[in-house]
Amino acid sequence: MDIRCNKTNCKHNNHYACKAKEIHVAKNTDCQTYDRDFEKSSKNLQDVSKNMFEIAPEIGDFSHDDKLCVDCYANCIFNKNGKCNANGITVLENDKIGYCGTFMEE
Ligand code: SF4
Ligand code: SF4
């Protein structure tokens, strides 16, 4: 399971890859494991974008050990008994939190 995540100011985010051991996705698809890292300043985040879009892309390794678990409460076609069964998910961001962009209503 790979998680690509745009919520770059989260403690678990490393160059757009989620490095948490497990995440919890709520019924409304919010990532409840989001944990804001106040040391990731806006300057640092700009640097990440610069690396990503203007210089050589320095993107985190999205591969995860297979133990990564996504507990999910959303009514989604990838939800199998409360666990995400997708090969990978993309977490997008709104102004507050990250949410699962791979969600497809069942
Ligand atoms: S917001 Fe969620 S998916 Fe994104 S890095 Fe943080 S814990 Fe991982
Ligand atoms: S793809 Fe579906 S089952 Fe997987 S985390 Fe997202 S909403 Fe939950």
pLDDT of residue 1: 85
Q: What is the best residue among 4, 5, 45 to mutate for testing ligand 1's pocket, by most ligand atoms within 8 Å of CB?
A: 5
pLDDT of 103 > 80? The answer is yes
The residue ranges of every structural domain in the chain are 2-100
Q: DSSP string spanning 9-37? A: TBTTEETTEE--SEEEE-TT-BBTT--B-
> pTM of the prediction?
0.82
Query: Residue 10 is encoded by which pair of tokens?
Result: 């989260």
Counting from 1 in the atom list of ligand 1, the atom nearest the Cα of 91 is: 3
The residue whose C-alpha atom lies closest to atom 7 belonging to ligand 2 is: 103
pLDDT of residue 94: 86
pLDDT band with cut points at 50, 70 and 90 for residue 95 = confident
The pLDDT tens digits of the residues spanning 33-91 come to 999 999 886 556 655 555 555 555 556 665 655 567 999 999 999 999 999 999 999 99
In the sheet that 83-84 helps form, which strands lie side by side, from edge to edge? 22-25, 69-72, 83-84, 79-80
Counting from 1 in the atom list of ligand 2, the atom nearest the Cα of 70 is: 5
Rg (CA), the chain: 14
Of the listed ligands, the closest to the CA of 1 is 2
Does residue 86 or residue 96 have the better pLDDT? 86
Assess whether the C-beta atom of 33 lies below 6 angstroms from ligand 2: no
Query: Residue 57 is encoded by which pair of tokens?
Result: 């892309």
pLDDT of residue 64: 54
Unique residue bearing structure tokens 């409304």: 28
Query: Residue 18 is encoded by which pair of tokens?
Result: 């989620």
